[in-house]
Amino acid sequence: MTQQLRRRKARIAATWSGILAGVAAAAAMTTVMAGSAVAATTLGASAAERGRYFGTAVAANKLSDSAYTTILNREFNSVTPENEMKIDATEPNQNQFNYANADRIVQHARSQGMQVRGHTLAWHSQQPGWMQNMSGTALRNAMLNHVTQVATHFRGQVVAWDVVNEAFADGSTGARRDSNLQRTGDDWIEAAFRAARAADPNAKLCYNDYNTDDWTHAKTQAVYRMVQDFKQRGVPIDCVGLQSHMNNQSPYPSNYRTTLSSFAALGVDVQITELDIEGANATWYRNVVNDCLAVARCNGITVWGIRDSDSWRASQTPLLFDNNGNKKPAYDAVLQALNNGVTPTTPPTTTPPTTPPTTPPTTPPTTPPPGTGGCTATVSLNSWTGGFVATVRVTAGASGTNGWRVTMTLPSGATITNAWNTTRSANSGTVNFTNVSYNGRIAAGQSTEFGFQGTGVGTGMTPTCTAS
């Protein structure tokens, strides 16, 4: 073969090599482009593609659980400390602040590229003993100092604060909740928001509450009017948090999207801050996500825990992962809803109502009619250093119930700070818990739940149940 022929073959080979390389590169690019169109496989990644976050509540003592942190790091892009930023945790003694556990959560989140929501600066519950015993001007000043000190400590690390938590009462009146903070004057919420803005000018400031999902409820309307007033007067408020703890007594409302869009129309963001749904109802979870995606200013969802065993309502199995960390059908429904997306709608053109509905939601009679039937009660605990949440399940016997009373003796030193779905006779010692208007009647073999939060240690409680 001549030298000239060898050179010609070499040039041809080089040409084909370049062509093949180009084809390979194009194929690779096609693969990358196709890959970018493939649906996200985790909650946080899918939410981020929609310009939102999908977060979870985190407990510091579980960050040493590798199964827990594996799911946390993989699935979520936002974190809310479950108890570690609350008043009793951060200021156990007046002017003596402890941020160790909260800092641990913040550092873990930031190391994983997650954002942090702060929860909560001012609340009637989970106050340390020194604050519970204060009133008037002294309490107001102590509250403002707490807001200032805590928000300053986390300045630049927290994207949003639940500045005030649960300040409105349940029921049909739309009234403020009676508390030691409320008794310092009607402007205490406004004062807390102004102090938070001064301490952390770049964080979004939120008002957070439960039982505000249904647009027709008086409590929802009362919160709406407060936010409307704050916006009109220039009080710094940037967002409203709906806790959205849903169960058979407080189901997903068909007007949930109206609630979200009506608050958004005031010029604030809306965040679903503590989502959990009894039985992990996949349809309700999907509806909540779709409703949030449909409202442009609904910018994030936080589920209140990772696995069912991490939930304050563990016996209701309300979360997206079971006790072993396996994905539940509700997880698939949420991820599919996030990946499908929903075209946001503009705020309603009609002015939302500014007064409570003239006909409040129908509730059962306050006093259940007489009846017979036995019942049993079981208690489950979610504990942390210095406090606990107890969830009590009441199950009717063969005859059903028209009312019930559960009696428990709290351990020495334990004190109840808050309760829901029940009326209690005391805050310590032997306590009788009785049904409220809507959960006294239980069909044979069926159950209802109530709960309470306490300071101290909650272990060793043995409930007894009496039915009427």
SS (H, E, C) 40-82: CCCHHHHHHHCCCEEEEEECHHHCCCHHHHHHHHHHCCEEEEC
- Residue from 75, 84, 166, 274 carrying the catalytic annotation: 274
Residue 393's closest CA among 442, 438, 351, 326? 442
DSSP state, residue 85: T
pLDDT above 90: residue 371: no
- Provide the percentage of residues in the chain whose pLDDT is more than 70: 84
User: Can you give the pLDDT at residue 20?
Assistant: 39
Per residue in 305-354, pLDDT (tens digit) is 999 999 999 999 999 999 999 999 999 999 999 999 865 544 443 344 43
pLDDT above 80: residue 118: yes
Residue with more model confidence, 113 or 399: 113
User: Can you give the pLDDT at residue 18?
Assistant: 45
DSSP state, residue 91: -
- Cα 206 to Cα 333: distance, rounded to the nearest angstrom: 28
Alpha-helix runs per DSSP H in 315-430: 329-340
- Cα 321 to Cα 254: distance, rounded to the nearest angstrom: 25
**139-153, 203-217, 369-383 — which is least confidently predicted?**
369-383
**Which H/E stretch holds residue 196?**
helix 188-199
User: Can you give the pLDDT at residue 284?
Assistant: 98
274 is catalytic: yes
Residue 179's closest CA among 169, 171, 190, 170? 169
Q: State pTM to two decimals.
A: 0.72
Average pLDDT over residues 269-290: 98
